[in-house]
Homo-oligomer: A and B are copies of this chain.
Amino acid sequence: MEVKLPTFNSVFSIDCVIFGFEAGELKILLIERNEEPYKDWLALPGYIVEQDESIDNAAERILYELTGLRDLHMQQFHTFGEVNRHPQGRVITVAYYALIRINGQKELKPITQYAKSAFWHPVNELPKLAFDHTEIFQTGFNKLRRRLNYQPIAFELLPEKFTLTQLQSLYEAVLNKKLDKRNFRKKMLSYGFLKELDEKQKGVSYRAAKLYKFDRRKYTKIFQNELNLDS
């Protein structure tokens, strides 16, 4: 049975590429669509921008409605405007990305009916996604990789207290290559924005590692100047 779909003219939408890190793997947030077109497909969380909200606000609202997640710091990274990227009409989409600690407590739960579910999926072996979302994801992933070189974004993905090995394995997951342990530690510690805690890892069956915290105050003090060129 063929479903007849409405058509429409110019519409803006937002799509979100949200990265998380869990069990040594980099993941992104996907939803299962509950609406035509691409009903039942997996997709990036995304929806249409309202008349009276800025795109930045729209991005936060849409992510919340589709996944229950709030108050992340999202940043736009690219706008996709091919003519036929949406089967029902002309939709230009602004893609945003953000990083977040994956936290077992926080339930992922769509507020609207547009998504059946929301869940984390490893960035490797991604399935086919709806629309041009695979391309959007790839572009976002490249941006993330680039930005890792000049911004301490890794700390958004880790728990508040973390070991240097966890930090390193996150870098390795994003950059997709092995790093030298001694050089990595030397370099990270030399920046001076890691605070060593009086605490150690617990519940591991080997020598427990020291825990560290990211000291955002020190970071902004050290890198004040470079922040201007950020956007």
Contact assessment for B12 and A12 in the assembled complex, using a CB-CB cutoff below 8 Å: yes
Q: Does A79 contact B (CB under 8 A)?
A: yes
Q: Does A92 contact B (CB under 8 A)?
A: yes
Contact assessment for A83 and B12 in the assembled complex, using a CB-CB cutoff below 8 Å: no
Measured between alpha carbons, how far is A9 from B145 in the docked complex, in Å? 37
Measured between alpha carbons, how far is A12 from B82 in the docked complex, in Å? 13
Query: Can you identify 8 A-B contacts, CB atoms within 8 angstroms?
Result: A49-B81, A55-B79, A55-B81, A55-B92, A58-B81, A79-B79, A92-B94, A142-B229
Mark interface residues in A154-197 (1 if CB within 8 Å of B CB, else 0): 00000000000000000000000000000000000000000000
Instruction: Across the interface, name the chain B residue whose C-beta is closest to A14.
Output: B81
Other A-B contacts than A10-B49, A51-B90, A79-B94, 17 sampled, CB-CB below 8 A, are: A9-B51, A10-B10, A10-B11, A10-B12, A10-B51, A12-B92, A49-B92, A53-B83, A54-B82, A58-B81, A76-B78, A79-B79, A92-B92, A92-B94, A139-B231, A142-B231, A145-B229
